[in-house]
Amino acid sequence: MRLHEYEAKEILSRYEIRIPEGGLATSLSRVREIATELHPPLMVKAQVLVSGRGKAGGILFANSPSEAETVAKRLLGAEIKASKVRFLLVEEKLSVKRELYFGVTVDRSNQCYVAMASSTGGMEIEEVAVAMPEKIIRFLIHPLDGFHSHDAVEIARKLGYSNGPRLKLAAILGKLYQVAMDYDGELVEMNPLVETVSGDFVAADARLIVDNNALYRHPELEKRLREQRTEASVLEMKARQKGLAYVKLEGNVGVIGNGAGLVMATLDTIQLHGGKPANFLDVGGGASMAKVAAALDIVFSDPEVSTIFVNILGGITRCDEVAKGILMKRKRSGFVKPIVIRLVGTNEEEGRRVLREAGVPVMDSMEDAAEKAVELAIRRG
């Protein structure tokens, strides 16, 4: 369960982690009211459950209450990556000396939590990991020992801090870990955690994802989850109407496969090659060409998808039927994004022939196809 930025910040403030001065607005008059109480410059931030909100135009700046109202008019009711903006966070713009990153998430391969920190805040941590891996500090947290103050102090030292600032930063890192534990967080992060020119540390942005399996321990979040599902499930509703199993994820490589096991393996293979899956979509066994075309319609309509990987291992699913569905989609609206296809199994030769004669390339190796899909996604950004 993902929380909005303002909700995550409200939780951080309960743990005495400083957040920017500001307030939540659902109307232009409230935007002006909040802006009047603050000292410009200001930030007006759309509250939507998508990544890359800033790059998509969801964060704007203002130098006065009237300007804040003007930019708010552009945001309220607009769509950011297919998510409608219903409310805004109006905040003071911080005087930044340095931007840091700090987060706590689950390291499934090591079966424990991991604390991550970087002196390069404000960027997507995945981008930093690829471009500047030496900038990321990772600390595996033992499930029984936990995260101690001396661990936090050592991370702050590696970030370049000493004396009072090091202790101040370490205290914040310890509090963030406690948030992750208390809220069963799959991910809690501050990006950026800003060191201001006055020497304070402020969570300029915050993110919290709660494990759905632990919601019985957080009854206050159950209503919020129902609202979130209503808000973020347009594509999921379309998929259900077509008899497709679809789950939206946060990456940019669209995935279509037949069988839950194969789709899960496809997600893992994409991640193994450095990519991030944008969705889970299972067309099921014996999928018709109409169902395959419908699956492509849904994945193509996700604005966060850069490329699509269709991975079919035909059993009761016929590869020639899948091929016809792919061409049905192309005839209807074309391929506006790159598509990588792997066809193996029942009637694969016929399926390959159908696609080959239409000028659509097909691959037979899942590994090679996944690598190609990731490469195309990275190239398209």
> What 3-state class would DSSP assign to 179?
helix
Angle between helices 289-300 and 319-333 (to 10 degrees): 50
Rounded Cα distance, 91 and 352, in Å: 56
According to DSSP, the residues that pair with 120 across neighbouring strands are none
Handedness of CA 315, 320, 325, 329 (dihedral sign): positive
Rounded Cα distance, 252 and 124, in Å: 14
Q: Which residues of 214-225 are buried (b: 16+ CB within 10 A; e: fewer)?
A: ebeebeebeebb
According to DSSP, the residues that pair with 208 across neighbouring strands are 188
Supply the DSSP string of 137-174, one letter for each residue. Answer: EEEEEPTTT---HHHHHHHHHHTT--HHHHHHHHHHHH
Structure tokens at 216: 């019985």
324 and 312 in contact (C-beta within 8 Å)? no
Angle between helices 319-333 and 348-357 (to 10 degrees): 20
Indicate which residues carry an active-site annotation.
Answer: 101, 189
Residue 85 Cα to chain centre, angstroms: 17
Supply the DSSP string of 86-129, one letter for each residue. Answer: --EEEEEPP-EEEEEEEEEEEETTTTEEEEEEES--SS-HHHHH
Rounded Cα distance, 126 and 62, in Å: 30
Rounded Cα distance, 370 and 274, in Å: 10
For residue 181, which of 224, 219, 226, 145 has the smallest C-alpha distance?
145
For residue 312, which of 271, 375, 275, 354 has the smallest C-alpha distance?
354
340 and 307 in contact (C-beta within 8 Å)? yes
